[in-house]
Structure formats: C-alpha cells, structure tokens
Structure 1
Amino acid sequence: MRDQPVHRTLVILVGVAAAVVVLFGIREVASIAGPVVLALVLVIAVSPVRGWLDGRGAPVWLQVAVPFLIVVLVLLGMVGILTISATELASLLPTYTVQFQQLLVEAQQWATAQGLSDEMLSKGLQAFDPGRILGLVQSLLGSLIGVLSALFLIVVLVLAMCLDAPITARILTTGEGGRPGLVTALATFAHKTRRYLIVSTVFGLINAVLDMIALSLLDVPLPLLWGVLALIANYIPNIGFVIALLPPAMLALLDGGVQTMLLVVAAYIVINVVTQSFILPKFLGDAVGLSTTMTFISLIVWTFVLGALGAILAIPLSLLTRALLIDSDPDATWVQALVSGRMPGSVR
C-alpha cells in the first residue's frame, strides 16, 4: 500500500515528461504538423457533405471531389484576400507617420495642461505605439499567409484524406467491437469539432460583416481586411476579440482621431456582446467540452507549439488530445469532469 502513492507520482512525472517531449517534437516540425492538422480539421468540417452524397447514392469519386473542391475554393479565397489586404496595409502604414507625430504633439500639449511631465507621457506613448500594434498585425497576417502559402502541401493532404474518408469511416465502424471507447471518442471529437467550426464560422461571418459595415460608415481604411481578421480571430478563444479590435481601432485613431477610435471600439463591443454573449451560447452551448481555464491553457500551449496557426486551431487540437488520452479511457471520468468543468455524469 505504501508503494501506491510513489507509483502514482512516478506515472504522473513520466506522463508530464512525455508530454513535454512530444510538444517540443511537434514544435520542431511545426511547418509540417500545422498543415496536417489544418487539413484534418478542414476535412472534418466538410464531412457532412460526403455523408449527404453517400446517403443519396452518389458515386465515390463525387463524394471525394465535391468536399475537396469546397476546401480548395475556401483556401484560395482566404489566401487571395489576405495577400491583397496585407499588401495594401504594408503600403498604407508609412503614410501615417505625420499623423502619428501630430498625435504625439497634441498628447504632450494636453499632458502639459494637466500638469503631467513630458517624460512620463513619453514612456506611456512608447508603450502605446499604434505603429507597433499595426506592425504586429502585419506580422501575424504574414505568418498566416506563410502557412497558407504551403497551399500545395495542404491541398495534397486534403485530397489524400478525402480519398481515404470513405474507407476510414468503414474501418472505424468495424472497430467498434474491439475498441469501442476509442471509436466513440473519435466520433465525439469529429462531431464537437464540426459543430464548433460551423457555429464559429457562421457567427464569425456575421461579426465580420457587421464590423465591415461599421468601419465603412466610419471611413476607416481597409474594412475588408479587418473583417477577415475578425473572422479569423473568432476561432481564437478568449483573446480573439481583442486581436480583432486593436488594429482597426489604432488605424481609426491615426486616420480620424480619438472620436473615431472610440466609435470603433463602441461598435465592436456592441456587436461582440450581442453575438458572442447573448446569441452564440444558445447555439454552441457546452459542445466544446472544455472549461474556461483549459481553453486558455490550450491557447497558450498550442500557440507556443504551432505559432499563429496553433492559436486558431487550439480548440480542435485540444478536443483531439482529449479524445485520444481521456475520452477513450473509461476510467478517466474524473479527468473528463476536470477538463470540462462539469460534474461526472454530465460530461458529455
């Protein structure tokens, strides 16, 4: 009996060490692992199309071709919009040098009138440099374009997975007798991932359109770019809203002044509160099955491992990890409750 705590501690330490080794190993091959995971998520997202075609007796080649073409068209559209918008942003940023200098002068005059020292103001403005924030967004878009520029690899992976999808579905069905827990866990992972992607995409598009309309009415430059950024940031848990808000707010400050910036912030907050806080939970509910703490930890871990793509795919990657390590083990009920933040018996 005395050896049991020691044995449990040893198992935990070995498990943590193995997880660290695996994560650092994935990080070393992030340029390959990222596209593979993205291709898998995209195939899962369009799998209902294949199922619908299969249910109507469509030939296998059509079951493969239609989902594949949907994914390719989406990827090409995203690459085109991001590339054009990032190029426009790069050419636009240098034109705001004068506005930024004028903003500094006005801020220093206001601070002097309020009795604040110039040194204190200079330090604050250095920490709150709109140019740095916009440059950070440009870097983020550049990394996303870098991932999507590996389009050939992603397309080949998607095609291979689409070709294997009918066979894989049959293999999983026949494997229910031998490993029912694993098969059920993988099916649950696919269902939760698909529901999360569909709902997040629909509400992301709604947010993007509303944001674009608000930015257009306020004459903020590049509303299409900020709409696409809002759609992409919608997949990033916890901090996605802030990432989508800061760049257009800073650009509004440089282009139209403080009043325009405040209007942009107010518009984004109203749109986000209505869609994300009141409407989205009614459709998504607890389908993800991850607590707030685990979601935030997932964001940190997968961003560290895969970069910007890891932040976007944090939820699907965490659901896959949960399916393989937790949901497939019938003795891990308490762990399921821990990561989902729900009492045992109501985890799923």
Structure 2
Amino acid sequence: MSETPPTPTSLPRLLTISLGLAATGVVLWFMRDLSDILTPVFLALNLMIAAHPIFLWLTGHRVPRVLSSIITGLTTILVLVLFFWALGWAGAQLVYELPNYSDQLTELYNQVIRQLSRLGISQTQITEQLKSINPTSVLGVVQGVLTGAQGIFSLLSVVVCVILFCVMDLMGLGKRLTIVDRLHPNFGQSLRAFSKGVRGYWLVSTFFGIIVAVLDSIALALIGVPLAMAWGVLAFLTNYIPNIGFFIGLVPPALLGLLVGGPMKGLLVVVVYCVLNFVIQSLIQPKFAGDAVGVTPTVSFISLLFWAWLLGPMGALLALPFTLLVKAIFVDGDPDARWFNALIASDPDTALAPTPQAAALGDDADDDHDADPRVVQPPAARADLG
C-alpha cells in the first residue's frame, strides 16, 4: 500500500502574528530612519497626482504630450513658489506694520514692568537675569533656527527634483497603467482609487483652508485688527502646515490685536482663532477629508497621530495620503483582504464590491450561459470570446 503524503500544516496562529508584528516593526523603523527622503518624495508624488488632470486636459485638447508634461510640471513648481512667496509676503506685512505702533509697544513694555513689580520682580532683577543668559544657549537657538531653514530648503530641493523626474515619466504613464490593468486588474483598480483619494484630500484641504481664511478675515475685521485680509491669506497657507501652522497664523494678528486694543482684544483674537481652528479643522475637516479619501473619521484621526509620530510634521501633513497608499496596496489590491474595508472604509459596501477578476469571470459565465452549445461557432468568434 502506498502511503499518502502528509498534508502540509500551516504555522501556528500566534507565531504567524508574532512574525507579522516583527516584520512591521522593522519596516516602520526603516521608514522613520528614512523620513528625510521618504516624505519629500511622497509629497512630490502627491502634487503630481493632484496636477495630473491638467496633463489629461491638455492632451485631450491635442497639445503634444511632451509640452503637456512640461506645463504640468512647471505649474506644480509655480504653485510651490507662490505658496512660499505668499508666506514671506504675509510676514513682511507684519514687519512693515509694527513701526507704526512704536508708542503702543513702549506702553506695553511699561505695563509688563509694572505688573512684574507688583509681583516683587524689579526691573533691575530682569536686567540681571538677561545679563546672565549664556551666549552659548542663544547661539544654540540661532543654530536650531538656521538648521530648520536649511531643512526646509533641502526638502524643497528634493521635491522640485522629484517633480522634474516625474515630468519625464508622465508621457508614458498611461501605457504603463494599461499594462498593469491587463496583468493585475485588482492593483490597477486600487491605484486609481489611491489617485482619486489623493486629489480629493488636497481638494478638501484647500476648500476648508479657504473657509478658515474667510472666517478669520471677517472676524479680524469685526474685532478691528489691521491687515485682516493679509492674516486671512496667512491662515489659508498655514492650514497646510501641520502642528505649528496654526501658531504661525495666529501670532501676527494676535500681536496687532494686543497693540491696537490691549490685552482683551489680543485675547479675543486668540479665542476666535482657537474656536474656528478646533471646530473646522479638528471636527469638520477630518470627516470630509476621510470621506474624500475613503476611510472613517476614526481612522482619519488615528492616522494623523500615527504618521506624525512616525515621520514628524510632514507625516502629519501627508497622513491621509500615506494611509490611503497602505490601504491601496494591502487591502484594495488583495481580494482576500478586502473584507477589512468593512471596518475602515467610509462606505462599508466597498467590501462587497466585486473585484475586476470576479466581474470578468461573471461576464464570461454569462456569455457561456447565453451561447447555444449546439451552434458551432467559427474560430474567430471563439478567439474573441477567449
């Protein structure tokens, strides 16, 4: 009697989970170590994905593909340049405006000295404390600021370089995606969902940035803060900067409010900004951004915390696109893992949607069912059906 070969046994579930967690930890460690490269490259890819409709519109109007690619890349770089130019313009407005309030600055300084004197701190003590400051610590702060500026310049350099290389690849992107669709329909479909989600995310972020800017400008004008329109522009731009963006947009109008109307008006500006930022950017925007990307608000919030911890401030900016990329690769691209969409997708019915392969098999089955088996089809027809 011949012995039946033993059936292969799978690894114990606990061992499988442990190996998966260990591999995930190694991947996350590499990502955190490579964050200075990973985040600007991914930001550039996001910008090119967002600008891709420009390329499609130009080619649809019979503009040569080479010229369409160049225009799309230059438009993306121009948006980056305008972004940082507008930030500098808003900062320059504060510098130009402050000399007009030199008397108020002097009075504010005297008020601070009087309040400190009531607390038992004399001006002589303050002067002595200022003299005791170690110059080395001041140099450390200056060095930190310069390092941050250098980091921003390096990030922009990488982003621009990646955009230029993406321009070269843009002309053959359609053919590549067609081949991917033919060889791996599930992955091609998930790439389209990822691109659509990225464009939706940046569109939602821009839309809510405009809302915050308009409301901030109106509130500042009603409070009586000078240059309300400029601070609204600054609020719109800093809406894209995670974590510190809110404080960058708050300092100039709060300072001018303090100089124009005293502590109460400055405090009112802070309260208005905090309320608008919390309600719109922390409560409303994540819901719409999650819907645009295709994940629940809870997943949207957790992804913000996770990617900010892993990749720093740029991770917070790109949290939802990163989450969408992971979802596209490991969930949408794997038919056996699409059940997970029922837990994380904004529309749980996407977990029940048929995959491209299943739809193709269903069409083939319908064709076989409709065909009469008694009729002999010509070779060409059989080849077409195959």
Query: TM-score by structure 2 length?
Result: 0.66
Within the candidate set 168, 189, 197, 1:192 is matched to: 197
CA offsets, 1:140-183, max 9 Å, x none?
A: 99848833554332212112112212312321122213211111
Match of 1:65 in 2: 70
Asked if the contact 2:258–2:265 (Cα under 8 Å) also holds between the matched residues in 1, the reply is: no
1:32-181 matches, cutoff 5 A = 32-83=37-88, 85=90, 99=108, 102=111, 143=148, 146-181=151-186
Asked if the contact 2:204–2:292 (Cα under 8 Å) also holds between the matched residues in 1, the reply is: no
Match of 1:202 in 2: 207
Matched, 1:251 2:280: no
1:240-319 matches, cutoff 5 A = 247=251, 251=255, 254-255=258-259, 256-265=261-270, 267-268=272-273, 286-319=291-324
Matched, 1:336 2:337: no
Asked if the contact 2:340–2:351 (Cα under 8 Å) also holds between the matched residues in 1, the reply is: no
Secondary structure of the 1:199 match is helix
Shift of 1:55: 1.5
Shift of 1:330: 1.4
In 2, Cα distance between equivalents of 1:214 and 1:279:
19
Shift of 1:231: 2.7
Shift of 1:261: 3.4
- Matched residue type, 1:157: V
Q: CA 1:341–1:284 in structure 2 vs 1: closer, same or farther (change >3 Å)?
A: closer
Asked if the contact 2:48–2:163 (Cα under 8 Å) also holds between the matched residues in 1, the reply is: yes
Asked if the contact 1:49–1:67 (Cα under 8 Å) also holds between the matched residues in 2, the reply is: yes
- Matched residue type, 1:290: V
Secondary structure of the 1:176 match is helix
Match of 1:231 in 2: 236
- Matched residue type, 2:331: I
Shift of 1:201: 0.9
In 1, Cα distance between equivalents of 2:209 and 2:113:
35
Shift of 1:36: 0.3
Larger Rg: 2
Gaps of 5+ in 2: 1-8, 122-140, 354-386
In 2, Cα distance between equivalents of 1:147 and 1:207:
25
Q: CA 1:285–1:82 in structure 2 vs 1: closer, same or farther (change >3 Å)?
A: closer
Match of 1:128 in 2: none
In 2, Cα distance between equivalents of 1:142 and 1:230:
25
How many residues were matched structurally?
317
Asked if the contact 1:50–1:67 (Cα under 8 Å) also holds between the matched residues in 2, the reply is: yes
Q: CA 1:50–1:264 in structure 2 vs 1: closer, same or farther (change >3 Å)?
A: same
CA RMSD of aligned residues (A): 4.3
Asked if the contact 1:234–1:240 (Cα under 8 Å) also holds between the matched residues in 2, the reply is: no
Asked if the contact 1:334–1:344 (Cα under 8 Å) also holds between the matched residues in 2, the reply is: no
Asked if the contact 1:82–1:141 (Cα under 8 Å) also holds between the matched residues in 2, the reply is: no
Asked if the contact 2:291–2:346 (Cα under 8 Å) also holds between the matched residues in 1, the reply is: no
- Matched residue type, 1:340: A
In 2, Cα distance between equivalents of 1:200 and 1:304:
21
Q: Structure 1 vs Structure 2: percent identity of aligned residues?
A: 39
Shift of 1:30: 2.0
Match of 2:380 in 1: none
Matched, 1:215 2:220: yes
- Matched residue type, 1:28: D
Shift of 1:44: 0.6
Asked if the contact 2:235–2:246 (Cα under 8 Å) also holds between the matched residues in 1, the reply is: no
Shift of 1:33: 1.3
Secondary structure of the 1:203 match is helix
Asked if the contact 1:289–1:347 (Cα under 8 Å) also holds between the matched residues in 2, the reply is: no
Q: CA 1:250–1:21 in structure 2 vs 1: closer, same or farther (change >3 Å)?
A: farther
Gaps of 5+ in 1: 113-117, 119-135
Matched, 1:21 2:26: yes
